[in-house]
Amino acid sequence: MTALSTDEVDLLSEQAIADPYTFFSMLREHDPVHWNAAHRSWVITRYDDVAAGFVDKRLSSNRVQIIYEQKLSPEQKVQRAPTYEVLSDWMVFKDPPSHTRLRNLVKRAFTPRAIQALEPRIIEVVDHVLDLPSAGEIDVVGDIAYPIPAMVIAEMLGVPAEDRDLFRAWSNDITMLIFEGARDEHDRQLAQSGLVALSEYLHGLVGAHRKSPKNDLISALIEAKEDDESLTEAEIVNTCVLLLFGGHETTTNLIANSFLALMKDPDQQRVLLEEPDLAESAVEELNRYDGPAKLVVRRAAADLEIRGKQIKEGQRVLLVQAGANRDPLRFADPDVLDLKREDNRNVAFGFGLHYCLGAPLARLETQIALPRMLRRLTNPEVVGERLSYQPLLLTRGLTNFPLRYS
């Protein structure tokens, strides 16, 4: 088996963006630990290797700080300092022990029980968003899949309703940076403006919560304490940026991608509608089949070997969930959507220390939204010839999803 050359493997090619599953399955079969010179990254696509990678201490999440401190010129450092100030506080870019401290404190405010208590409110939000004329044309992404998680996370944090529209543009700009679609310094500066605007806004909101505490996530983050530790002002603000961003972009794509998958498969639609008890495992399967997470990035903190390939300290490693979750060695008929699949545990929400903190929220929102969307948007038809996906390396989301229903 020969390794594929980088010339053949452009991770942002039209084909890779349109159908990452076929694209990564080619790599998984022929070169499962692939060096890609263009992205200067190792690309890991087999389930076993990806799952092992998530728990390998030699694969570090600390890349923002290292890149900033070691790889940027003095001029770039000045240019990118505002981005660094926000991202260096995100737990997703930290290793233990600072990751452990931050995650434990945030976990106290963001508990599965607090999320379960939101169920009635999420139902109201979904019903409100689906309060549509009996027939018409909508954009599933912009009109439904985006507003549901955006409204829920904004309410959880305690953002006043009249300010919520501000986030959409900021969040879009940030997506380009975090999910690696930024092509040049101009894109990076645009993303930085979004980050700065969002963090300045949240700074004001955290200040107001300090003066008059409320029953919401910001107040819970202010109050969170463990072993005499609490979050600094910057950590609170920057964690709110992370939660707002995480709450906006990923679940939107899970809802929209899943609705599209079900639209194409009337049998599976029926399964979801007729067997509501399956909702939980159905969402797990939909996240495996065509979820938003394509890959996560790590940095080798030491030399290591995977399947005979020598990975050197400092090199970038991409753990490709879109490859792992369709690996035939792990899942029978991996390219088939089967809501009744018995063992559908997958790596869409990650694995190990950084396992998605928002997973219970994303699951609940999607479980509530999908059956209601299927019942409300009857006789759905995609408008136009072809749906397109955002040209991002880390995530899979439709650019828009125009739909006619009647």
Chain residues that interact with ligand HEM, rule: CB under 6 A: 61, 91-92, 103, 153, 242-243, 246-247, 250-251, 254, 291-293, 296, 348-350, 354, 356-358, 361-362
Other residues' Cβ atoms within 10 Å of the Cβ of residue 266: 9
CB nearer ligand HEM, residue 242 or residue 272: 242
CB of 302 to ligand HEM, least distance (A): 18
Q: Is residue 122 within 8 Å of residue 365, measured between CB atoms? A: yes
Residue 394, token pair as written in the block? 């880390």
Tell me the C-alpha distance between 161 and 127, whole Å. 17
Task: Supply the minimum distance, in Å, between the C-beta of residue 298 and ligand HEM.
Answer: 7
Closer to ligand HEM at the Cβ: 31 or 194? 194
Phi, psi of 401 (to 5 degrees): -150, 75
Q: Which is nearer to ligand HEM, 3 or 55 (CB)?
A: 55
Closest approach of ligand HEM to the CB of residue 370, in Å: 12
Of 239 and 269, the one with the shorter C-beta distance to ligand HEM is 239
The least CB distance from residue 283 to ligand HEM, in Å, is 9
Query: Closest-CB residue for ligand HEM?
Result: 358
Nearer to ligand HEM, 31 or 361 (CB): 361
Complex with ligand HEM: residue 320 or 377, whichever CB lies closer: 320
Question: In 3D, which of 69, 59, 63, 9 has the Cα closest to residue 34?
Answer: 9
Q: Rounded to the nearest whole angstrom, what is the least distance from the CB of residue 94 to ligand HEM in the complex? A: 7
Region for 180 from its dihedrals, namely left if φ exceeds 0, alpha if ψ lies in -120 to 50, beta otherwise: left
Provide the 10 A C-beta neighbour count for residue 182. 19
Closest C-alpha among 142, 232, 245 to residue 191: 245
> Could you tell me the CA-to-CA distances from 64 to 61, 71, 177, 386 in Å, in that order?
8, 10, 12, 36
Residue 179: CB minimum distance to ligand HEM, A: 11
Q: How many CB atoms lie within 10 A of CB 280?
A: 11
Report d(CA 291, CA 396) in Å as an integer: 7
